Amino acid sequence: MMNERMVPTCCPPHLPTHPRHPAEAAPAYELIKVETRGAVGLITLNRPKALNALNSQIIREINAAARAFDENPAVGAIVLTGSEKAFAAGADIKEMASKPFNEVFGKNMFAEWADLTKIRKPTIAAVNGFALGGGCELAMMCDIMVAGDNAQFGQPEVVIGTIPGCGGTQRLIRAVGKSKAMEMVLTGDRMSAAEALSFGLVARVVPAATTVDTALAIGAKIAAHSKPVIAMAKEATNAAYEGTLAEGIRLERRFFHTTFALKDQKEGMAAFVEKRKPAFTDS
């Protein structure tokens, strides 16, 4: 579905069902693998022959699995990954190449792509190999990005006569700054894992063989905290990413006040004073 040049773009539409539990729905997934590792949900893209090229079906499945984990009270964080060779080498060009303007515009093509950003639980992208075009955009939609030392990031849409359409021009500039983002978007050049770390695109770089385990460990650490507190912390941090400083400070303070209505706040502070580990109940 993708050629060797691995030039790509964004990604696709709609979501079919809302599985009540990932394990329940797993047999219905054809292009992803879904499992639970302790309190962390793991979604693995599984189109190896296409280097995990993103088509409509795989996006529907990712979104459905993420929603199921979001609704599962036993899960505290979600990890999204691909293979060691490719997180996702881009969108499935064959699927979109012949679509007419009236269809892509009229149906607001890729509108559901951003559904991953609506997940309330923390999402972690574990990126190995190629994360190009839609693959890079998918990774940037996650809250935290862990990169293997073999990871490559890029928005090469100009090479195929289009531009990023799933947030590439918007999220990349917020992550790495205008000049570097412009260079990548306008030339189609790739960024190495080391560069991605130096520019702040990823949280850390680890040996490729340990990328998923590292992301799972971060997820487990997050999942050990109070879920409502983590949800508020995520929303407050995203407010800083998207809004003004004054609005963000106001929201942060109100969330801080709100935590005092939780049993977990009382337990957490009591445990600190008593020098013991807190026993959070997510209440």
DSSP string covering 138-181: HHHHSSEEEEETT-EEE--GGGGT----SSHHHHHHHHH-HHHH
Distance CA 227, CA 213 (A): 22
Give the pLDDT confidence score for residue 27 in this predicted structure: 52
pLDDT per residue over 93-128, tens digit each?
A: 777 777 778 887 887 777 888 899 999 999 999 999
Are residue 268 and residue 142 in the same domain, yes or no? no
Whether residue 113 is found in the same domain as residue 214: yes
Q: What is the mean pLDDT of the chain?
A: 89
Among residues 124, 280, 133, 89, the alpha carbon closest in space to that of 206 is found at: 124
pLDDT band at 147, cuts 50/70/90?
very high
Distance between CA 42 and CA 10 in Å, rounded?
22
- The SS3 call for residue 131 is strand
Is residue 131 included in any domain, yes or no? Answer: yes
CB-based contacts of 111: which residues, under 8 Å, 6+ apart? 13
Of 118, 119, 104, which Cα lies nearest the Cα of 13? 104
Q: What is the CATH number of the domain that holds 246?
A: 1.10.12
Catalytic site residues?
91, 134, 137, 157
Beta-strand pair 152-154/130-132 = parallel
Q: Does one domain contain both 178 and 107?
A: yes
Question: 5 lies in a domain?
Answer: no
154 and 134 fall within a common domain: yes
Q: pLDDT band for position 1 (50/70/90)?
A: very low
Q: Quick count: other Cβ atoms within 10 Å of Cβ 88?
A: 34
User: Does residue 279 form part of some domain?
Assistant: no
- pLDDT tier at 19, thresholds 50, 70, 90: very low
Q: Does position 45 have pLDDT exceeding 50, yes or no?
A: yes
Average pLDDT for 63-69:
97
- The total domain count for the chain is 2
Residues 65 and 162 in one domain: yes
Report yes or no on 2 lying in a domain. Answer: no
Residue 142 lies in a domain: yes
CATH code for the domain in which residue 160 is found = 3.90.226.10
pLDDT tens, 166-219?
A: 899 999 999 999 999 999 999 999 999 999 999 999 999 999 999 999 999 999
Range of the domain at 263: 227-273
Nearest to 133 by CA among 85, 92, 173, 179: 92
Whether 25 shows a pLDDT value over 70: the answer reads no
pLDDT confidence of residue 262? 97
Is 32 domain-assigned?
Answer: yes
